[in-house]
Amino acid sequence: MSIFTRYILSELWRIFGLAVMALTFLLAVGLGAREGLNRGMPPALILRMLPYMIPEILGITTPIAVLLAISQVLGRVSGTNELIAVRSAGLSPMVVVRPAIVFAYFISLFTVWSYDLAATWGRTNVRRVAVEALEEIVYAKLKREKGYESEKFVIKVMGLDGKRLLRPTITIQTDPQQPAMVLRAEQAELFTDVKAGTLTIVCRKPVTEIGDARITVSDTLTQTIPLETPQPSLHRQWLSMAEIPAAVDQLKREVEQLRLYLRSAGASDEQRAAWQAQIGQLEARIRQLQTEPYLRWANGFSCLCFVLLGSPVSMYRRSENFLTNFFLCFLPILIVYYPMLMVAKELTTSGALPPVGYWSANLSIAVPGAFLLYRYCES
């Protein structure tokens, strides 16, 4: 490896490391605070949740940090006439660009891996922290807002005395097909069992209402609510790419089973319509799962595409002002790449485009960037 190549790589690593740490910290604090506040978490619990958000945040910050590094290093090399010296030595500017492309390739692989890590480790643990701290979250929100609402229960109180809820009204809806249970009591307390995955509500002298029925209990009533599972089953955002083929096969078997039901005699039209709707939902989930690996690879290799565009733009500019270089590179990415990525995501998920359509956004900046790079090196 030549001295010049080591110099380019060391500068890229240094600036990339500083940029990715700064951007990840800022985004982690912003996203972590928002997620924690949405869940009603106190600051200590938000800090517990932040490390598990890092892999997902890296998928956002890494491509931007790579573009910042390229804009700084190649802009400076060009602005200080080092590229003129390279040409004078009879060498192509690709001597400068080639290490940057290799650097971006390995960073792209790292970004793809971070998406997988976010699916298998990050999101799972963020949710686990929220479930484990549910009791603390509920009490904190009740103290602050006199109410707490989730998918399965709603609690409103007149006040708190330590851990005792004063004059609570608790609405429990664990089954959408059944009427809600409403508990009104003088006092109540909450207890969570993380291993069992339940929330227990102990009410003193409650009045229970279920539909039109009304039941009064003179002593205490204990009501247990099953909490949501820490990880959704067969969801694209919670599976690694290695796990997706098995999940697709399982969903396809479910579709085939439903189609067998449809071909069977004796089912009512209403039942057939329900089965057909389930088949449509399962097929949509299959398409989502099948496109997910393409999405992760395309998003990860946006780092390489950003470098292909940023390298010639920074060298053409011949300016050491890396912020100007960065914004000139980022403007077409903002105008072209991100809108095309959203359109590609919608079309591939719906089945209008094959999964490889995700790469159209990458090509929209990689192809012009490669053309500009060729023109610069040949000029």
pLDDT tens digits along 170-212: 998 877 778 888 999 999 999 888 777 788 999 988 898 887 7
Domain count, the chain: 2
Axis-axis angle for helices 302-317, 322-332 (nearest 10): 130
Q: Is residue 277 part of a domain?
A: no
Structural domain containing residue 177: 152-226
The answer on 353 and 302 residing in a single domain is yes
**Which of 204, 226, 248 is at the close of a domain?**
226
Judge whether 293 and 113 are in contact, CB under 8 Å: no
Pick the closest to residue 228 from 132, 311, 160, 342 (CA basis): 132
Ranges of residues in the chain with a pLDDT under 50 are: 230-231
**Which of 190, 208, 226 is at the close of a domain?**
226
Q: Is residue 180 part of a domain?
A: yes
* Prediction pTM value: 0.84
The answer on 106 and 20 residing in a single domain is yes
Q: Is residue 273 part of a domain?
A: no
**Which of 208, 226, 244 is at the close of a domain?**
226
Give 193's strand partners: 198
Q: Is residue 190 part of a domain?
A: yes
Q: Is residue 252 part of a domain?
A: no
The answer on 310 and 211 residing in a single domain is no
The answer on 169 and 216 residing in a single domain is yes
The answer on 129 and 157 residing in a single domain is no
Q: State pLDDT tens for residues 124-137.
A: 888 788 777 888 88
Judge whether 217 and 208 are in contact, CB under 8 Å: yes
The whole-number pLDDT of residue 228 equals 57
The answer on 98 and 36 residing in a single domain is yes
CB atoms near residue 258 (< 10 Å): 16
149 vs 29, 157, 162, 354, CA distance in Å? Answer: 25, 12, 20, 40
CB atoms near residue 273 (< 10 Å): 11
Q: Is residue 264 part of a domain?
A: no
Residue 197 sits at the vertex; the CA angle it makes with 196 and 200, to the nearest 5 degrees, is 90
Q: Is residue 266 part of a domain?
A: no
The answer on 7 and 54 residing in a single domain is yes
The answer on 162 and 117 residing in a single domain is no
Q: State pLDDT tens for residues 3-56.
A: 888 989 999 999 999 999 999 998 888 877 776 666 667 777 788 888 998 999
Pick the closest to residue 152 from 175, 183, 130 (CA basis): 175
